[in-house]
Structure 1
Amino acid sequence: MKAGRFKQWAAGIAAAAVPVLAFAQAADPKPWQLNMGQGVTVQSANAYGAHMFALWVCVGIGLLVFAAMGYAMFKFRKSKGAVPDKDFTHSTRLEIIWTVVPVVLLVLMAFPATSKLIQMYDTRNAEMTVKVTGFQWMWKYEYLGENVGFTSRLDRKSEALRQSGKVVSGQDHEHYLLDVDNVLVLPTDTKIRFVITADDVIHAWWVPALGWKQDAIPGLVNEAWTEIKRPGVYRGQCAELCGKDHGFMPIVVKAVPKAEFAQWLAAQKARNAPNPAPAPAQPAAPAEAAPAEGAASNTAEAPTAVAVAG
């Protein structure tokens, strides 16, 4: 009995510690992660703040409810001679309280959530635009106005491992099924607008560290934006069931400082630029004939010869 009671107390303490353990989470999801990640963008910070506010409201409600239940169970237990009230029907005062309090809490949570949701869809004043197109089963990225674009698909090592039939561990590939051949490079501290669509079926572009997810729908262009605050590599996946290889079209975003991004973009432009046509060969300049002394003397002597003959 003592062992069972100890396990119950241990489970209760662990459950109470969950909100405390939820504070420091990495940008990308980790195994056994208990809470939503804080991310590295304005949207992710807003979502995390709203989530934590709602979490603590729920924790407070839970504490009040379970405290009231515990008090009632121990205070009015049968062993102390408590007799149930069989004539109790309802209390108008209690009904008003448990109706008004939830409404007030919902209104308090709705105001900040609505303002942050409006901000999430405000793509104005973006400094650059990236077009994202989903294919079965890869992504295509285009930096609009820069003449730079490429496709991004599952890296060859992950592809070989998944088709090998073996049980893959972290020692075989640290980022198994979460690496690509070409990463999406973005600058930090820059408002970036995304236009997202698809070529065949519905996909969804999702990087948890950026704090949002957007559907890629054929024939429709959706918008989103981000502003990454911290350099790093952030991973995601297609979040819409799009066919048999849905689980094999990851997303990798590499955020770098603005100066480094400018160098990378210049290198991509140089690589994509067509080879310049060879310059036409210049015609050889005609050689200038030097006046020959013999020719000049012959010209001068010719009339003399004619005169003699006459």
Structure 2
Amino acid sequence: MKNERILFWQSISFSGVFLTSSACAESSQYNLPVGVTDISQQVYDLHMLIFYICCVIAIIVFGVMFYSMFYHRKSRGAVAANFHESTKVEIVWTVIPILILVLMAIPATKTLVAMEDTSQSDLTIKITGSQWKWHYSYFGEDVEFFSLLSTSQEEIEGNEVKGENYLLEVDNPLVLPINRKVRFLMTSDDVIHSWWVPDFAVKKDTIPGFINEAWTKIEEPGIYRGQCAELCGRAHGFMPVVVQALTEENYERWLNDKKLEIAQAKREATASLSASLSLDELMDAGQKIYLDRCAVCHQAEGGGIPGAFPAITGSKIATGDTSSHIDIVVNGRAGTAMQAFANQLTDKEIASVVTYQRNGLGNQVGDLVQASDVNSFKASKEE
């Protein structure tokens, strides 16, 4: 008798906790974000609809269970019935779940179809995942750039106080206009990544050799953050997504400024081919590039990670033939995590980082590599 009462009140207590959780689900910080697009609103509404259906089912099932436990307990003289299968009962408990699933499938199918409809887009952007950064290319605008994590190494190592957007900040965010349908074409240079922005309800894998599609139409200006949602390697956690949504007028202004910035960078890259920088200038520039692009694998001090990433300090590449060193930075090495930087860095930047690796990090080769040397190397490979 005592044990039955304890079981009954434990069940009632569990039910109360469950119902309280259900009532607070919509306002909980653990719930899905409503987002800033029509699709994200549809996803949120679908999520809440399914959630409430599950709550109703749970209330009915647990209600019947608690009622049966209380009114048909042994202490009240209840005697268990002795019966076998019932065709009517089996039909009922088969038909009702089927009807529930069909009712749930109708709005779910509508939302999924809408999520995949990339037709009639106003802007197309190619998104390429790469260890460990994103590359954005605006179709028809001659605008493309890489987006890298901008959180400082000092914050990551715990030597500085972590900022508000720790590991969710980049040097070049993806800039989009509001009230325009933007189509995304997604692929990868190396391994599978996943471009995910919760406020857009967009999460799509980027797969080498394949093109996946997604789209969004942002309704509110602002900055929206996401991450790579596919475990893609050692620096997976350092691959954030940041999208800046602007009004159409401000977007056009940004686009024009970006085109001027890219044109200026190209002129500077051309001018650097005839420049001759000092060792100090190359070392200063090379150190910054190394810490931004190379240190995640080869470590800030050049020691690498044994068994995973080779050291720069004392390596045959960094202390050997200069052409071989330029070659591996420009073209990468197939079958390894060493990617090609020919399209990621200018000739001047490649020259700087090669010089830094050969004369820093414990190496003292003593030679200088200029932008013209890198350009000549590329030209010789094209012939």
Which letter does structure 2 place at the counterpart of 1:20? A
What's the counterpart of residue 94 of structure 1?
89
- Distance in 1, matches of 2:61 and 2:134, equals 49
Q: Are positions 1:44 and 2:47 aligned together?
A: no
- Distance in 1, matches of 2:25 and 2:145, equals 38
- Distance in 1, matches of 2:185 and 2:229, equals 17
- Distance in 1, matches of 2:17 and 2:73, equals 28
- Distance in 1, matches of 2:102 and 2:129, equals 38
Which letter does structure 2 place at the counterpart of 1:268? K
Q: Is the contact between residue 18 and residue 34 of structure 1 (CA under 8 Å) also seen in structure 2?
A: no
Q: Are positions 1:173 and 2:163 aligned together?
A: yes
- 175, 181, 184: which one pairs with 2:174? 184
**1:69-218 matches, cutoff 5 A:** 69-85=65-81, 87-157=82-152, 159-162=153-156, 164-165=157-158, 172-218=162-208
- Distance in 1, matches of 2:177 and 2:9, equals 53
TM-score between the two structures when normalised by the length of structure 1:
0.78
The percent identity for this pair of structures is 46
What's the counterpart of residue 20 of structure 2?
17
- Distance in 1, matches of 2:101 and 2:10, equals 36
What's the counterpart of residue 256 of structure 1?
246
Residue 70 of structure 1: SS of its match in structure 2?
A: helix
What's the counterpart of residue 229 of structure 1?
219
Q: Taking structure 1 as reference, are residues 271 and 165 closer, same or farther at Cα in structure 2, changes over 3 Å only?
A: closer
Cα distance, 1:133 vs structure 2: 0.6
Cα distance, 1:233 vs structure 2: 1.2
Unaligned runs of 5+ in 2: 3-7, 271-383
- Distance in 1, matches of 2:219 and 2:22, equals 26
Q: Is the contact between residue 177 and residue 248 of structure 2 (CA under 8 Å) also seen in structure 1?
A: yes
Residue 180 of structure 2: SS of its match in structure 1?
A: coil
Cα distance, 1:200 vs structure 2: 1.0
Cα distance, 1:50 vs structure 2: 1.4
- 17, 26, 31: which one pairs with 1:35? 31
Which letter does structure 1 place at the counterpart of 2:46? A
Unaligned runs of 5+ in 1: 26-32, 278-310
Which letter does structure 2 place at the counterpart of 1:244? R
Question: Can you list the C-alpha shifts for 1:48-95, whole angstroms capped at 9, x where unaligned?
Answer: 12111111111010000000001101111111111112x211222221
Q: Taking structure 1 as reference, are residues 83 and 240 closer, same or farther at Cα in structure 2, changes over 3 Å only?
A: same
Residue 244 of structure 1: SS of its match in structure 2?
A: coil
Structure of greater Rg? 1
Q: Taking structure 1 as reference, are residues 142 and 184 closer, same or farther at Cα in structure 2, changes over 3 Å only?
A: same
Higher relative contact order by CA 8 Å / sep ≥ 6: 1 or 2? Answer: 1
Which letter does structure 2 place at the counterpart of 1:179? E
Q: How many residue pairs are counted as aligned between the two chains?
A: 262
Which letter does structure 1 place at the counterpart of 2:19? A
- Distance in 2, matches of 1:116 and 1:219, equals 28
Greater mean alpha carbon deviation, residues 44-53 or residues 201-210: 44-53
What's the counterpart of residue 304 of structure 1?
none
Cα distance, 1:113 vs structure 2: 1.2
Residue 26 of structure 2: SS of its match in structure 1?
A: coil
Which structure shows the higher helix fraction?
2
Q: Is the contact between residue 50 and residue 112 of structure 1 (CA under 8 Å) also seen in structure 2?
A: yes
Q: Is the contact between residue 203 and residue 217 of structure 1 (CA under 8 Å) also seen in structure 2?
A: yes
Residue 197 of structure 1: SS of its match in structure 2?
A: strand
Q: Is the contact between residue 202 and residue 215 of structure 2 (CA under 8 Å) also seen in structure 1?
A: no
Residue 185 of structure 1: SS of its match in structure 2?
A: strand
Which letter does structure 2 place at the counterpart of 1:161? E
Q: Are positions 1:60 and 2:56 aligned together?
A: yes
Residue 62 of structure 2: SS of its match in structure 1?
A: helix
What's the counterpart of residue 30 of structure 1?
none
Cα distance, 1:255 vs structure 2: 1.1
- Distance in 1, matches of 2:110 and 2:218, equals 20
- Over the residues paired in the alignment, what is the CA RMSD in angstroms? 2.5
Which letter does structure 2 place at the counterpart of 1:47? V
Which letter does structure 1 place at the counterpart of 2:21? V
